Amino acid sequence: MSFPLEFWDLSLWLAFIATILLTTSELVSSYYGNIHIYINKKRLRNVALAVSTLFLATVAIRIINIALAP
């Protein structure tokens, strides 16, 4: 049984999630609306940067594979 996601799909998913998280961490206020839910912006930004780093790692792996291909 093969894994349904390929490396390209994983890279695209990471890019999409990183974009959403980085945008959200910059635009959302610490106190969202009137529902009194506190959003920890520092933690959200750290997660966004971690996902972005994973995306850049997948891009680097793809570049290395292209460069080393015969």
What pLDDT shows up at residue 14? Answer: 92
Strands (E), the chain: 31-32, 37-38
- This prediction has a pTM of 0.77
The model's pLDDT over 35-54, given as tens digits with 9 standing for 90+, comes to 666 777 888 889 999 999 99
CA–CA separation, 8 and 14 (whole Å): 10
Report residue 67 as tokens. 């460069």
Q: Which of 32, 23, 27, 30 is nearest to 52 (CA)?
A: 23
Where are the chain's structural domains?
Answer: 7-68
